[in-house]
Structure 1
Amino acid sequence: MRAPQKKTNRVEKVNSLIQHILGPVLHENLRGADGIVTITKVETSKDLRWAKIWISIVNGDDDAVLGTLKNNIYEIQGELNRMLEMKIVPRISFHLDTGARYAEHINEIFKEIEHEREDNGNE
């Protein structure tokens, strides 16, 4: 039985390169869109054929931003193909990373609980 394989250094380097390259490309493609878009994580398959791009959207419409990215996917992929010097460039797909938003929501709940305790303690 084979042990599960860890991410190789090559995959980690490709993840980092894709994130570095796509940051300015997304900024250019989303010019005029509401909100701030950040690439939070890139997950490239072990065979380097596919890459999931996880994005976080602050103060913007998730559906509108994802729609714009979907409409411009060929242009974005083309930029990546030109800039990433590899024989086979991973095909990209965009996914919404809701982790930061969820953490912010939980933090707000804790603040509400704290305010309720303070109010109850003063009565």
Structure 2
Amino acid sequence: MSNRLEKVNSLLEKEISKIILRDFNFQEALVTITHIDATANLIEARAFVSVLPEEKTDKIISILNKGVYSIQQKINKLLNMRPIPKIIFVKDEKIREAARIEELLEKIKKTDIKN
């Protein structure tokens, strides 16, 4: 990944997180942008979202994708760069996978202690 692309990803993550915190009222959930994956040509950027509790993830991502036009406009005004990638919110599966692996490791550890 190029240095410019890394900087763009980092900047988008920071600014999108601020906009979500400021403009969306998610009192029932903790919403986090875990990372951004922009294409090399900066046409689109996938924003990976983690939500706690997990049951609310699909609802929150749906709300974010419905409000993406507003978020996109704010990003366009904030950032002095062209092109600004089209933002697409997606569920971050890595967090859940990591939790599952952690759970399995704990089970193995408990089994080893018993033996």
1:93 is aligned, of 85, 88, 108, to: 88
Partner residue, 2:101: 106
CA contact (8 A) 1:42 1:53 kept: yes
TM-score by length of 2: 0.86
2:18 is aligned, of 24, 29, 33, to: 24
Partner residue, 2:7: 13
Q: Deviation string for 1:77-102 (max 9, x for gaps)?
A: 11111111113211110111111111
Partner residue, 1:42: 36
CA contact (8 A) 2:49 2:61 kept: no
RMSD, matched Cα: 1.7
Report which of the two has the higher share of helix.
2
1:79 is aligned, of 43, 59, 74, to: 74
Q: Say which SS state the counterpart of residue 21 (structure 2) adopts.
A: helix
Q: Say which SS state the counterpart of residue 8 (structure 2) adopts.
A: helix
Q: Distance in 2 between matches of 1:113 and 1:13?
A: 40
CA contact (8 A) 2:46 2:88 kept: yes
Query: Unaligned stretches of 5+ in structure 2?
Result: none
Q: Distance in 2 between matches of 1:10 and 1:19?
A: 14
Q: Deviation string for 1:6-50 (max 9, x for gaps)?
A: x22211111111111111111234323422121111111111121
Q: Deviation string for 1:59-88 (max 9, x for gaps)?
A: 241111111101211111111111111132
Query: Unaligned stretches of 5+ in structure 1?
Result: 1-6
Q: Distance in 2 between matches of 1:28 and 1:55?
A: 16
Q: Distance in 2 between matches of 1:106 and 1:41?
A: 20
